[in-house]
């Protein structure tokens, strides 16, 4: 039986005349220890315990490849810290697939988190109970979340224990494919070096704490992804002018902004300029895989 163990060998090829390369082989095991959840009644708790244990054993820091340390103090938001670069990750997990809206904590703290450079990033994990296997594991950098991804929930009613408290939902489909960095996609394991490289491509937005500026880049990415074509023209993106004006009513130079954002995406290696107002999209592949 296939037990979903794959060895990803990161050692460079060594010739017979050279000393053997250091052992950098890393094992990833998609099997989950479902029994860990047995002592818990709530499905949320079960999912949390099982997926935390898996992540601690199998995941790594997508920024630098460092090992992860599990949070010790039950801090809800910071589940894992990289031992090398200290980047934090919050884990969200579910059995089956993520529904379109993922409930999260307080709306106000999420909004503050989006503009704080030191905020942890997100890990998302889905698993299949029947086969006790991880099906998807991906990370989304917090700087790839804009205000349109976070939905404000209605305040809790008078009878609730925390009456008046306002939570939020993460709208999963608003997260651009370009911002999802997969380690496991449909049970297929990606090479670590590829994962780190893909993460690296997202970092052009890392320092951007203005939600409006970030929103522009993410909105243009969503538009390009929605075209679902390998190549597109500047004119085609201009076709979204009215839609963009609605989203960014304060901007009176939408076309100039579109050109500027395409340049930003080109510099970041997301698109290529192929001449005469034509662009090639690297989103095309990731959008296809995401469908
Ligand atoms: Zn790290």
Domain boundaries, the chain: 5-11+21-203, 211-290
Is 122 within 8 Å of 139 (Cβ atoms)? yes
- Please state which CATH number belongs to domain 211-290: 1.10.10.10
153's tokens: 């929930």
92 C-alpha to center of ligand 1: Å?
Answer: 19
Residue 213 and residue 118: Cα distance in Å, rounded? 18
Query: What distance in angstroms lies between residue 251's CA and the mean position of ligand 1's atoms?
Result: 37
- Residues contacting residue 43 through CB under 8 Å, at least 6 positions apart: 95
Read off the tokens for 76.
Answer: 């809800």
CA 199 to ligand 1 center in whole angstroms? 11
The pLDDT tens digits for 99-147 are 899 999 999 999 999 989 889 999 999 999 899 999 999 999 999 999 9
Residue 98 CA, ligand 1 centroid: distance in Å: 26
Please indicate, yes or no, whether the overall pTM of this predicted structure exceeds 0.75. yes
Spacing, Cα 68 to ligand 1 middle (Å): 8
Residue from 135, 170, 173, 168 nearest 154 by CA = 168
CA of 178 relative to ligand 1 center, distance in Å: 20
194 Cα: distance to centroid of ligand 1 (angstroms): 15
User: Torsion over CA of 30, 104, 122 and 68, rounded to 10 degrees?
Assistant: -70
Q: Could you give the CA distance from residue 200 to residue 88 in angstroms, rounded to a whole number?
A: 16
- CA separation for the pair 28, 166 (Å, rounded): 39
- Domain 5-11+21-203: which topology? PvuII Endonuclease; Chain A (3.40.210)
What is the tens place of the pLDDT at every residue in 70-89? 986 555 556 899 999 999 99
The alpha carbon of 83 and the centre of ligand 1 are apart by a number of angstroms equal to 7
Residue 14: is its pLDDT beyond 50?
no
């Amino acid at each position: 039986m296939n037990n979903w163990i794959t060895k990803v060998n990161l050692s460079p090829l060594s010739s017979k005349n050279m000393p053997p390369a250091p052992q950098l082989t890393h094992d990833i095991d998609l099997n989950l220890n479902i029994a860990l959840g047995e002592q818990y009644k709530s499905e949320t708790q079960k999912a949390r315990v099982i997926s935390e244990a898996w992540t601690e054993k199998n995941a790594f820091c997508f920024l630098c490849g460092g090992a992860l340390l599990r949070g010790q103090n039950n801090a809800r938001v910071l589940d894992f810290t990289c031992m090398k670069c200290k980047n934090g990750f919050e884990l969200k997990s579910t059995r089956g697939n993520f529904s379109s809206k993922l409930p999260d904590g307080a709306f106000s703290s999420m909004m503050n988190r989006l503009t704080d450079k030191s905020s942890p990033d997100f890990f998302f994990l889905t698993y299949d109970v029947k086969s006790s296997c991880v099906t998807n594991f991906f990370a989304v950098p917090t700087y790839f979340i804009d205000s349109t991804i976070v939905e404000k929930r209605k305040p809790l009613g008078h009878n609730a224990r925390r009456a008046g408290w306002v939570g939020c939902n993460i709208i999963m489909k608003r997260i651009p494919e370009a911002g999802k960095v997969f380690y496991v996609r449909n049970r297929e394991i990606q090479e670590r070096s590829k994962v780190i490289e893909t993460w690296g491509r997202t970092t052009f937005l890392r320092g951007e704490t203005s939600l409006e500026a970030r929103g522009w880049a993410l909105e243009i990415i969503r538009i390009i992804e929605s075209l679902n074509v390998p190549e597109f023209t500047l004119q085609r993106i201009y076709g979204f002018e009215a839609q963009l004006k609605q989203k960014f009513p304060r901007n009176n130079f939408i076309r100039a902004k579109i050109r500027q954002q395409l340049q930003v995406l080109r510099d970041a290696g997301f698109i290529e300029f192929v001449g005469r107002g034509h662009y090639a999209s690297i989103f095309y592949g990731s959008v296809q895989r995401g469908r």
